[in-house]
Amino acid sequence: MSFDVVIIGGGLAGLSAGVELLKVGKSCAAVSEGLSLNNAPREEFVALGGVLFSGDSVVRGEFDSDRLVKVFTRNLENTPLAAQSFILSTGKFFSGGLRSTKDIIYEPIFGADVEYDHDPAAWCSPDINSTQPFECFGLATDSSQRVMISGRVIENLYAAGEILSGQVEIINSALEVCRRII
């Protein structure tokens, strides 16, 4: 199956980007493993003709040099989703977009570069009422929000939403990715 854009993650940022891309005539698919706290973009995404693979997850991607060519999902198995552009919007720790061991923090689908303090003792603050340091960890991207893997920019893989490093305006990050893709 081929689309203009494949969105990996079905939350607010990814599906808001999908809605905007559909409005300008882009064909979009979204792979959404879990439920979203906000169903409005999901309903609008489907109403505008977006293809939603709900209850599914991307398990791997296939690259050609510095471009992501297609992704494979758990449910579709050997049927890839190909696209010109991809948006990675899987959230952070609570939604599984980032994972950790006691020593490292990593992005589980593509092995994308993650910006974080490499001293695990610095991941949390003893003051539970303050912003926790781990809340600012996220994907390393270039100035166009393109994801980096092993220090290389992946030309057509963008990040949006909470998976980005720092404090992120979710909708603004999604709209910025749309501007880059259009």
Its CATH architecture, for the domain 2-181, is 3-Layer(bba) Sandwich (3.50)
Helix (H) / strand (E) element for 172: namely helix 170-181
Domain boundaries, the chain: 2-181
The pLDDT of residue 41 is: 86
Q: Answer whether 0.85 is exceeded by the pTM.
A: yes
User: Which amino acid belongs to residue 68?
Assistant: L
The C-alpha atoms of residue 62 and residue 82 are separated, in whole angstroms, by 9
Percentage with pLDDT > 70 across the chain: 96
pLDDT at residue 38 in the model: 61
pLDDT tier, 37 (very low <50, low <70, confident <90, very high otherwise) = low
